[in-house]
Amino acid sequence: MAEIRNLTGGRGVDVALEVIGLKETMEQAVQSLAILGRAALAGIADRPIQIVSYSELLGREAEVIGSSDHLLHEIPLLLELARRGSL
């Protein structure tokens, strides 16, 4: 998390995509968000995640989105479309 904050000047990321399905990486995706950021969680986890409601979500006006209808080979295209602002 410190490296993401360092690389973004303390701001965080606009979009975090989690595809591994680990509790830890899902939580990190949310923790890495900037103000008005969006975390898309596509990995399938067998453990619940914990989010600190104010500092990690409400105070940042962030969003957590669940996504389960994409295949692994589609991710590069989806990332490119997001980079272009086409999503």
pLDDT at 56: 94
Contact present, 31 and 56 (Cβ < 8 Å): yes
Q: What pLDDT sits at residue 78?
A: 80
* 87 neighbors 67 (Cβ within 8 angstroms): no
Q: What is the pLDDT of residue 83?
A: 83
What pLDDT score was predicted for residue 59?
A: 95
Q: Enter the pTM of the model.
A: 0.79
Burial of residue 12, with CB atoms counted within 10 A of its CB: 0-12 exposed, 13-18 middle, 19 or more buried: buried
**Rounded Cα gap, residues 79 and 42, in angstroms:** 13
- Average pLDDT, 10 consecutive residues per value, the chain (87 residues): 91 93 95 96 90 94 86 82 82
Cα-only R_g, the chain: 13
What are the residues whose beta carbons fall under 8 Å from the beta carbon of 66, sequence distance 6 or more? Answer: 40, 41, 42
